[in-house]
Structure 1
Amino acid sequence: MQGRPYRPNIVPPLPEFRMQCKQPFNTTGVEYTITLWVKGKGPNPEKAYIILFIYPITRGIQVELDDNQSCDLFLMSLRKFCSRRGFPALMLSDNTTTFVAVSEYLKTISENPRVKEHLLDIKCNWKFIPARAPWFGAIWERLMGLLKLCLKKIVGQALLSFEELTCILVELKGIINDRPLSYMPGDLNQLEILTSNH
């Protein structure tokens, strides 16, 4: 009887980088997503870390696997990514409270003189999204959720080698980038599905 009508939250406008029609990989998000155990050289399993490169405009992903979170290995992953997809003008990384450890690590990496020098060479600007602003990283969270779901269904509790896991991640990247996004305009009788790989 005394309740007031529900007033939905006002959603802020989309950031400019999501609205500008530029090259597909001009803006890229990066995040360490999942820590997995792989077969080690000895009897004990070792950790492996998945680096997820996300394209907010095309909603595609690129996946890399590292065996530790060192600056040198991240720099090599970044160089591999740039060699395959081109140099992004803007790199974004997550900065929410749930990923404090990862964002602090990424801040440390981006402050490293070698990484700064490399980013200046390729004219890349690195920004952290604001904390407690889920609309900035909603696409990334969704794509990470898809990747985790696929990994859970394929790998389950199995302990794979680093090479086997790398192979599975490359296959999953292809599957996720082939998911339908929309229909391409054209003949109604022969509609073609638009995917991230287009």
Structure 2
Amino acid sequence: MKEHVRPLPSYLVSRYHGWKATTYTENRAWYRRLADEGQRPRAMIIACCDSRVHVTSIFGADSGEFFSHRNIANLVPPYNPDGDHHGTSAAVEYAVTSLKVAHMIVLGHSQCGGVHGCHAMCTGHAPELEEKTSFVGAWLNLLRPAYEEVKELPEETQIEALEKQGVITSLENLMTFPFVKAAIESGNMTLHGLWHEIGSGGLEQYNPETGAFEQI
């Protein structure tokens, strides 16, 4: 391994020094407090890995506000304690049982590559994702049932509909976790589903009463 690890690229080193000299220095007491007292985030946000979705910028969040977890297509698997590794499930468990967050947010977005991949799999256009060796394909299988909800829509609207259906799928799967369900039913936590339009900067939230996403 030693021969493969290299120092950071110079542009990242430069950006770090810029942050340390400005943002950190101006807020040194706050960072010290976070280090000494630990984190107390108000919310957990489950978002996509997509580099275009800048969660903290969208909400103007400071360090310590959000407990964040990112994965391909912002998916949450159903509760399934089978002994395998579950990074997303572990993050959810920690947020709810240890950090006791007040809000659980699933944030989907436009032009999601993961959702495109699932749509391609479901329409037979991505055989490489159906190989047993594909981690991405195996993960996107979580979204396959959602395709059944959108496949009859006009083709040009299916991707966006599947992105939003993916958020709903994750919300439904969150409710299969006993500790999530208990926190919500006790009134200690609320559940939220959002969809972000990257190009326009728009943000929509899921309304369970209408079954639609509505502009915020």
Fold shared per TM-score above 0.5: no
**Under TM normalisation by the shorter chain, which class is it?**
0.3 to 0.5
- Considering fraction of residues, name the structure with more helix: 2
Instruction: Compare the two structures and name the one with the higher strand fraction.
Output: 1
Question: What TM-score do the two structures reach when normalised by structure 2?
Answer: 0.32
